[in-house]
């Protein structure tokens, strides 16, 4: 309620529980708000690390963007607070944890499961784009699983209000970046369409499409050329959707409305929630 919303939180308001994961810049703990008993995930970030990486602005933007978002497939950011050394993010707790751990454990997903997750991510992206927000960092590591195993997009550390041309040095994996970003071109909401295609590929194959052991330059070249090989273990419907999203020309990428109507996605609706 509004009283809860605007109040000043502090660490004393929470009972800290088990560690949930170790993300970038800090740890995440299960926590219970003392007065209400409400369970949350509390991410503890060290200011020194934020300053060293010069990402304070990005974190502020994430908090600003996330605090206005409400969607079943987007992990809530309820609020934040800070003390002398740390910033704390009060996050929705995702009881089934991190999707990428499930993916690494099982190798790849059944196509019905993969299609369900892609449909849920498409719904989240439709909501984000309708609010002129580009996530820009859609990958398994940023997807969590809710109480009923539903996918929830998290970690808006890289999201921007469209159109974004920020040329922040991209750290982490290149695997998910579309050609226009590796080429440093102006990018907009269609970068998320490309990443959705990479996500679908990784879900059904078990590895991203342009991964190169030879290093990032080789990955870079394969992305720029859209050097895409889809194994024939992948169903024709899944391969068709992946090809329609991994188009070099952003205008040619299948719009989200059409993704939801694609046979591979429509099929997944009646199989599971
Ligand atoms: N089971 C679970 N249930 C709920 N949450 C869990 N883990 C936390 C997932 C996150 C959601 N949002 C996040 N946001 C950031 O980390 N932001 C962040 C942090 C530092 C710097 C920066 C930046 F400044 F570099 F952008 C941005 S982490 C788990 Br496991």
Short-list 243, 227, 237, 245, CA closest to 263: 237
Banded pLDDT at 267 (limits 50, 70, 90):
confident
Banded pLDDT at 102 (limits 50, 70, 90):
very high
Token pair of 72, please?
């079943």
Cα separation, 220 vs 269, whole angstroms: 35
Instruction: Dump pLDDT digits (tens) for 222-243.
Output: 999 999 999 999 999 999 999 9
76 Cα: distance to centroid of ligand 1 (angstroms): 11
Q: What is the mean pLDDT of residues 57-70?
A: 91
Instruction: Dump pLDDT digits (tens) for 113-145.
Output: 999 999 999 999 999 989 888 877 889 999 999
Our answer on whether the CB atom of 163 is closer than 6 Å to any ligand 1 atom is no
21 Cα: distance to centroid of ligand 1 (angstroms): 10
Tell me whether residue 137 is one of the annotated catalytic residues. Answer: yes
Cα separation, 150 vs 169, whole angstroms: 32
CA distances from 4 to 16, 28, 35, 79, 90 (A): 19, 22, 11, 10, 12
Our answer on whether the CB atom of 45 is closer than 6 Å to any ligand 1 atom is yes
Banded pLDDT at 163 (limits 50, 70, 90):
low
pLDDT of residue 166: 52
pLDDT of residue 272: 52
Check if the beta carbon of residue 206 is closer than 8 Å to that of residue 108: yes
Pairing mode, strands 133-134 and 77-82 = unpaired
Residue 87 main-chain phi, psi, to 5 deg = -115, 140
pLDDT of residue 25: 85
Whether the per-residue pLDDT at 4 is higher than 70: the answer is no
39 Cα: distance to centroid of ligand 1 (angstroms): 16
Whether the per-residue pLDDT at 5 is higher than 70: the answer is no
Cα separation, 50 vs 156, whole angstroms: 15
Instruction: Dump pLDDT digits (tens) for 169-187.
Output: 555 678 888 888 777 776 6
Our answer on whether the CB atom of 199 is closer than 6 Å to any ligand 1 atom is no
Which ligand 1 atom is the nearest neighbour of the CA of 21? 30
Our answer on whether the CB atom of 144 is closer than 6 Å to any ligand 1 atom is yes
Q: Is the peptide bond prior to 8 cis by the omega test (within 30 degrees of 0)?
A: no
């Amino acid at each position: 309620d509004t009283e809860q919303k605007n109040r000043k939180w502090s660490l004393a308001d929470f009972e800290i529980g088990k560690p949930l994961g170790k993300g970038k810049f800090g740890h995440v703990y299960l926590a219970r708000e003392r007065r209400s008993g409400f369970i949350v995930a509390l991410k503890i970030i060290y200011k020194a690390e934020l300053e060293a990486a010069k990402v304070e602005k990005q974190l502020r933007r994430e908090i600003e963007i996330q605090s206005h978002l409400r969607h079943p497939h987007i992990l809530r950011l309820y609020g934040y607070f800070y003390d002398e050394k740390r910033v704390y993010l009060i996050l929705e707790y995702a009881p089934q944890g991190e999707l990428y751990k499930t993916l690494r454990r099982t190798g790849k997903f059944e196509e019905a499961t993969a299609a369900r997750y892609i449909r849920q991510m498409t719904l989240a992206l439709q909501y984000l784009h309708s609010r002129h927000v580009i996530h820009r960092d859609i990958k398994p590591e940023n997807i969590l699983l809710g109480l009923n195993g539903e996918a929830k997009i998290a970690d808006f550390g890289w999201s921007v209000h469209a159109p974004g041309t920020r040329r922040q040095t991209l750290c982490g994996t290149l695997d998910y970046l579309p050609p226009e970003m590796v080429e440093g071109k102006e990018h907009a909401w269609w970068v998320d369409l490309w990443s959705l295609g990479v996500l679908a590929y990784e879900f059904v194959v078990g590895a991203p499409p342009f991964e190169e052991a030879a290093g990032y330059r080789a990955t870079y070249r394969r992305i720029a050329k859209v050097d895409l090989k889809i194994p024939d273990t992948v169903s024709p419907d899944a391969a068709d959707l992946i090809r329609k999203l991994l188009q070099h020309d952003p205008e040619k990428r299948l719009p989200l409305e059409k993704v939801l109507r694609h046979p591979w996605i429509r099929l997944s609706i009646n199989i599971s929630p």
